[in-house]
Chains A and B, each alone.
Chain A
Amino acid sequence: MSHPKAATEFLKDQANSQWHDETLWMIRDKRDASSKSIPEWEELRNLASEIKDNVLSNLDKYLEQFEAQALKNGIKVHWAKDAKEHNEIVLSILQEKNCEAIVKSKSILTEECHLNPYLEKQGIEVVDTDLGERIVQFLQQPPSHIVMPAIHLKKRDISALFHDKLQTEKGNEDPSYLTNAARLHLREKFLASKVAITGVNFGVAETGEFVVCTNEGNADMGVHLADVHIACMGIEKIIPRRKDLGVFLRLLARSATGQPITNYSSHFRSPATGKEIHLVLVDNGRTRQLAREKFKNSLKCIRCGACMNTCPIYRRSGGFSYGSTVPGPIGSILSPGLDMKKYSTLPFASTLCGSCSDVCPVKINIHEQLYEWRQEITKHHGTVGKGLSMKLASGIFKSPLAYQFSGSLMRKVIKSLPESVIYNPLNIWGKSRDLPKAPKESFQDWYKRNRHE
């Protein structure tokens, strides 16, 4: 489904989309309150940004150091140039261990690599153990938010789903009851799995250790009960020193949910006696992104999700309207780097209001990069750009439902339309709130500039 279409779907349920908007805004508020409790907050953001800049300018050296230390610690290190190789490495470890069922904690990287469908095709049962991820996995949906994977669903949906999958009482929507049902269900999986997969929040070059943060404790439940821990890590997750964790752990949870720290921050350095840790270092387009001077900063991302919670488009249209692994503003600058053609429209779904860059704990200039991508896409993919402009232009006037989405996408166009159109009952955004500020470059300008090319 194209992203305007997906957004249109999401907006059909007006009450739900309003709840989504308000809930994410509430989390943004919590982040603000939490960050204000630290006088040196802005200094921390600067430090985090500078540390990550240093990492990107010395990535090869840090990776080598990290690998050497990890090997010394008894961790087995693998390198994967792309998603395919990553998946093959994971599969080969599973085959070597004769393992047919695994548990997996949250890892956006494995989503990016489409590991689940790959393993399932090989007859391996993959159980996502983060509650939100398990919910969307039951529904065969991707996560709609990187920190809150099931934020697009209501408890009545989850109640019906659990009734079907976990035989919970029909109509019981109590979150504690439903969570407990998932706890019992997943406990069995934890106890039975020989291999557990996790993502990685930070890899420390100095020590060869890596850190995984959760609130549920699901990553730890999985790996400490399994014989083999496979940690999948994007090469940009490196930080130089152990003490840098002090900066990042102070920023991460506060930016994500407003908590001062996640309830569990686990540091893995060597396997317990008789067990194994495998670390898969994955490129999959990251070195290509590093070579793009204008876009390399996107690799500083620590996946806190703050830019989504603050984004007027994401809040209102939901994660699925992005159609990329990482939804929201950061996804819109990462995804075109992976496949410019496929994701060519994403950078245009932004108001360029800059709120994302304001909250980003590592100070990525997200909105400027969105703007740069627009230039890039138009320049390099004249034909794509043109096709896109035609598609969008014909879509906007063809159907009133498509118009709801484009209402935010192309606010300058809208600004020039009479109020009666903006506040037309079909336009939910116009109805419930004022339109956000105009972007630096509107679709109209872009379209005008490009239609003669």
Chain B
Amino acid sequence: MSSREEILNSIRGIQKENKFLPDIPNFQLEGDLVELFKSAIEANKGEILSKKEFENWIASTNFQHVISCSEPFHTYATQELPDDAHQLDHLELAILDAQFGVAENGAMWLDDSQLPHRALPFITEHLVLILSKETLVSNMHQAYDRIGSDHSGFGLFIAGPSKTADIEQSLVIGAHGAKSLRVILV
């Protein structure tokens, strides 16, 4: 007998009381979604920028390696997407569209359609996400309602920059992934 059969059979052999699967109520969040989202991102050590603030910021940097997958921001790109994600190692900035945002925790959803390389938002040194205010939902229940049965090979909530507190609980931003997260709310 294969291990698969062995495992499934031993589960089947156990007498189990049937427990119901509960419905999930439609929990809502009180308050202004944009404000809640902003404070959530800031608490997660991200930053919210206007388009103008972004322009000022990028002018103050001297990035040589910028990739944009967001149409209106293509002018900032310095290079095309490489075929192999390993060549992204020196990437300084990636600008990507997010599909929608979640007000209660600052999470933003991206899937394969925003990510020509799944490694992009991780391997880049800095990450800028473009998010439309219109897309904000209140909490994770509404987030999964919105994703619905969309089929993507990979999907991801990003809520902040890469971080760790593994050394004496001191918060350090930029563990392995992006060292900063900026969100341009449009």
Chain A residues with CB under 8 Å of chain B are 23, 26-27, 40, 43, 47, 50-51, 53-54, 56-60, 63-64, 73, 79-81, 85, 129-132, 135, 148-151, 153-155, 158, 175-176, 178-180, 182-183, 186-187, 190-191, 207, 215-218, 220-221, 224-225, 235, 240-247, 249-250, 257, 259-272, 281, 283, 287, 290-291
Contact = CB atoms under 8 A, between A and B. Distances in A.
Contact of A81 (B6, B22, B106, B162): B6
Contacts of A154: 168
A178 B167 contact: yes
B140 A221 contact: no
A27 B149 CA distance: 36
B139 A155 contact: no
B186 to A, nearest CB: 22
A50 B20 contact: yes
Interface in B150-174: 151-170, 172, 174
Contact of B16 (A56, A80, A215): A56
Contacts of A148: 165-166, 169
Contacts of A261: 105-107, 140, 157, 159
Given A40-B25, A54-B22, A287-B14, 12 more contacts: A40-B27, A50-B21, A81-B6, A155-B170, A191-B89, A260-B105, A264-B156, A266-B155, A269-B151, A269-B152, A283-B3, A291-B14
13 contacts: A50-B21, A50-B22, A57-B16, A57-B17, A60-B12, A73-B153, A131-B167, A224-B123, A245-B140, A263-B161, A265-B157, A283-B3, A283-B7
Interface of B: 2-4, 6-8, 10-14, 16-22, 24-25, 27, 40, 43-44, 85-86, 89, 104-107, 112, 117-119, 122-123, 139-141, 143-145, 147, 149, 151-170, 172, 174-178
Nearest to A273: B153
A187 B89 contact: yes
B166 A190 contact: no
A287 B11 CA distance: 6
A235 to B, nearest CB: 7
Given A179-B172, A217-B178, A266-B154, A246 B139 contact: yes
A178 B7 CA distance: 45
B3 A80 contact: yes
Interface of A is mostly: helix
A81 B5 CA distance: 10
A262 B105 CA distance: 9
- Residue among B8, B104, B176 with the most chain A CB within 10 A? B176
B119 A221 contact: yes
Contact of A246 (B12, B24, B151): B24
Contacts of A216: 162-164, 175-177
A404 B174 CA distance: 41
Contact of B11 (A53, A265, A290): A290
